[in-house]
Structure 1
Amino acid sequence: MPSRLLTPDFFIDAPDEVARRLLGKLLVRKPDSPDDETTSGRIVEVEAYFGAGDPAAHAYSGKTARNAVLFGPPSRTYVYLIYGMHHCLNISCEPEGTAGCVLLRALEPVTGLATMARRRGLPSDASARLLTSGPGRMCQAMGITRLDHNGIDVTDADSLLTVMEDGYGTPPMDVTPRIGIQKAADRLLRFSIQRNKFVSKG
């Protein structure tokens, strides 16, 4: 099946529903220059975050300059920095005005592995699992930063970042609590493809 772009309607539902549907889709990062190459990976691990009812979410306390994209239209990227050094990529959900997003935690690399390794500061033949397993590694390997990629519409064919459907289908999934949070840590809002070796450990 030829790859096709997802539509904004795909992202208009609740974050947990969108998170489940994102598993198996392709995240595609266009090159910055003619000398660069496209990098892409299959989404194998995600987490859902809601708004006012989710104390672990960035939108919990309301709209700010930092999180404004979460209150806008669905299908927009929300990129933030943690620990002052690692970027994380989310995609907004819900109708405009209602905050919600899905955090992409891991990809299975598909194209551009040598470029991913270079961005990660690794040898070109480094293990593929070292490239995009975990949200910080994933963003580094895909060259994603808040400065350059926050607020992008992943359903626009002209965007540097897009999400594609290629007929992979609905994979069997594991559902577990989210990782690395202290509030609402018991909620079963982490979704991953069963037995996929690129899922981050936690």
Structure 2
Amino acid sequence: MSPLPPSFYDRPTLAVARDLIGALLVYDSPDDGRLVGRVVETEGYRADDPAMHGWRATFGGDGFVRPIGRAADLFAAPGTAYVYRIHHTNWLLNVVTEPEGVAGGVLIRGVEPLEGEAAMTANRPASVRRRRDLTNGPGKLTQAFGINEAPGVPRSRFHGTDLTVPPLFFAAGEPVPDDRVAAGSRIGISRGIDLPYRFVEVGNPFVSPGLPSDVRVARKTGKRE
């Protein structure tokens, strides 16, 4: 199983986000052996996107982004891992896109287990009531794959690593035709909710159950969807 090359990620963010649907997330774990999941849900974040961490990044006098905070990491070489924590416990796996020096990233929101499912289940023993709950969310899949961190660890060991080489990488899978892929609003954001930057494989049970942000805001404000 060969990793996708850097050139795959050295493209417009939304093209990468779409083409990762059907790709394989692979982790050659030192503890659990090979774990494989088929990507069924992604979200793209571009430089002109107000929901992106690198939006309005601070630049120095030389025109280069200052190497501070999250923003600088999204300008890294395409294929670099961008991993961060939310809600104190959930670690989210992203891959940097666009040419180096241009901010961009794709969040992996859901995968369908293909190999190593017993180990994935063991990594999430108290959280899985149905099989689809194993990896149908970005924090769930990192826990299932064992690429999260223990409580109190401030930084992911995978952040900044190269996802075009083992042990953690993406490999080509069976392409998913356009009529089986839908685009829409992303989940859990408050800005850029009208941008259709979330891609899902239609009907796959491992797509995360969260409410799209445009629907959530419409219901909250009483506006029609």
TM-score, scaled relative to structure 1: 0.90
User: Which residue of structure 1 lines up, in the alignment, with residue 109 of structure 2?
Assistant: 105
Indicate the residue corresponding to 1:139 in structure 2. Answer: 142
Partner of 1:50: 46
Q: Distance in 2 between matches of 1:30 and 1:127?
A: 25
Instruction: Let me know the Cα RMSD of the aligned residues.
Output: 1.7
Aligned equivalent of 2:93? 89
SS in structure 1 of the partner of residue 73 of structure 2? helix
Give the residue type in structure 1 aligned to 2:172.
Answer: E
1:170 aligned residue (176, 183, 200) = 176
Instruction: Out of 60-69 and 133-142, give the one that drifted further.
Output: 60-69
Task: Measure, in 2, the Cα distance between the counterparts of 1:38 and 1:128.
Answer: 19
SS in 2 for 1:140: helix
Q: Does 1:24 align with 2:27?
A: no
Query: Matched residues in 1 for 2:13 and 2:158: separation?
Result: 21
1: CA distance, partners of 2:49 / 2:200: 20
Looking at structure 1, the residues matched to 115 and 161 of structure 2 have their Cα atoms a distance apart, in angstroms, of 21
Task: Measure the CA separation in 2 of the matches of 1:29 and 1:128.
Answer: 20
Q: Does 1:160 align with 2:173?
A: no
- CA separation of 1:122/1:83 partners in 2, compared to 1, >3 Å: closer, same or farther? closer
Q: For residue 97 of structure 1, what is the amino acid of its counterpart? A: G
Decide whether the 8 Å contact of 2:84 with 2:156 is kept in 1: no
CA apart distance, 1:181: 0.3
| TM-score, normalised relative to structure 2 | 0.81
Q: Give the 3-state SS of the residue equivalent to 1:84 in structure 2.
A: coil
Structure 1: any 5+ residue segments left out of the alignment?
Answer: none
Shift in Å at residue 121 of structure 1? 2.2
Tell me the percent identity.
Answer: 39
Is 1:151 equivalent to 2:160 in the alignment?
yes
Equivalents in 1 of 2:44, 2:156: separation in Å? 23
Rounded to whole Å, the distance in 2 between the matches of 1:106 and 1:75 is 19
2: CA distance, partners of 1:92 / 1:102: 7
Residues 31 and 38, structure 1, Cα contact 8 Å, conserved in 2: yes
CA displacement at 1:177 relative to structure 2:
0.5
Query: Contact conserved, 1:116 with 1:141, CA < 8 A, in 2?
Result: yes
Structure 2 unaligned residues grouped into runs of 5+: 58-64, 149-154, 212-225
Shift of 1:31: 1.2
Structure 1 runs of 4+ aligned residues shifted over 2 Å read 63-69, 125-128
SS of residue in 2 equivalent to 1:197: coil
SS of 2:144's equivalent in the other structure is helix
Q: In the alignment, is the contact (CA less than 8 A) between 1:175 and 1:191 conserved in 2?
A: yes
2:54/2:70 contact within 8 Å kept: no
Q: Which amino acid aligns with 1:56?
A: A
Alignment of 1:70 onto 2:74? yes
